[in-house]
Structure 1
Amino acid sequence: MIQYEQLHHVALVVTDLGRAKDFYGKVLGLQEMPRPNFPFDGAWYRIGDTGQQLHLIVHNGETLRSGSLDTRDGHLALRVHSYRQTVAWLEQCGVPYEARPRPTAGFPQIYVLDPDRNVIELNASDPDT
């Protein structure tokens, strides 16, 4: 049997590294970290303080999504401290989102698309915080 310790990283394809770094660094507030000198562009980000990471990989091909936000599509989910503050921040940044303060999942969710149409779920433990 495989024994897991934790999720190490998730990799997402992006087409424009500068635009992606603005979104993940400035809008989502993730901390960029050193990245090996691969023969292709990308960026790595820390998620929290437990060693989990997000890797962005520049690829000039097409992304999978062309339509509107579909919350049943594959996505990256990040737990946020405050649901209300996250909604307020997204509004301040002008980022369209779909908010679900009391969904069937049992925890509040906010869905956004990054500039390359990757689906990102931001969720919290309480919709009133």
Structure 2
Amino acid sequence: MAIDKLAHYSIRTTDLEASRVFYTEILGFRVGYRPPFDFPGIWLYMGEDEREYGTVHIIGIDPNNPEGLIKYLGDKSLDSLKGTGSVDHIAFNATGLAEMRQKLTSRGMAIRERTVPSLNLHQVFLEDPSGVTIELNYPAAEAV
């Protein structure tokens, strides 16, 4: 038995729309097919191919009807739904650092940057609306 690759990651949120905006308008994902679960949510894709079921699954929490989510994934307290918990961050490879900096600056988003010299890699760290840390990895040459 071999594990091939990361299939997706899921985030529970009380603000589905803020997460949609972040992942589509900031990171450039696309909302795509999602099965008709008995709880709100969206599946986000990096491209047009939907055969791999999306990269990010945003799980909406409906405080007026939590039963569908509880039955499917179990219950979690709302207090536990901020940040990455034991997972430190989620990373993506990217290009177009100047454009991303402009986009983030124009929206007043806080970022941290650093270059890993031995890897020729420039990293940008930011947080999604749920406080999950996202790392964007660019070629270091773009950081000039």
Q: TM range, normalised to the smaller chain?
A: 0.7 to 0.9
Alignment root-mean-square deviation, CA? 2.6
User: In the alignment, which of 89, 94, 117 is matched to residue 80 of structure 1?
Assistant: 94
Deviation track 1:4-51 (CA, whole Å, cap 9, x = no partner) reads 333221112222101111111112121111101111111111124674
Aligned residues: 122
> Highest relative contact order (Cα 8 Å, sep 6+), 1 or 2?
1
The residue aligned with 2:138 is 124
Superposed CA offset, 1:56-113 (max 9, x none): 1124622243xxxxxx95211111112222222211222111111x136731111111
2:41 maps to 42
Partner of 1:30: 29
Asked whether the 8 Å contact 1:110–1:123 carries over to 2, the reply is: yes
From 95, 102, 115, the equivalent of 2:129 is: 115
Structure 1, unaligned runs of 5 or more = 66-71
More helix by share: 2
Distance 1:97 1:73, change over 3 A: farther
The alignment's TM-score, normalised by the length of structure 1, stands at 0.79
SS across alignment from 2:129: coil
Residue identity opposite 1:7 in structure 2: L
- Please, what TM-score do these two structures have when normalized by structure 2? 0.71
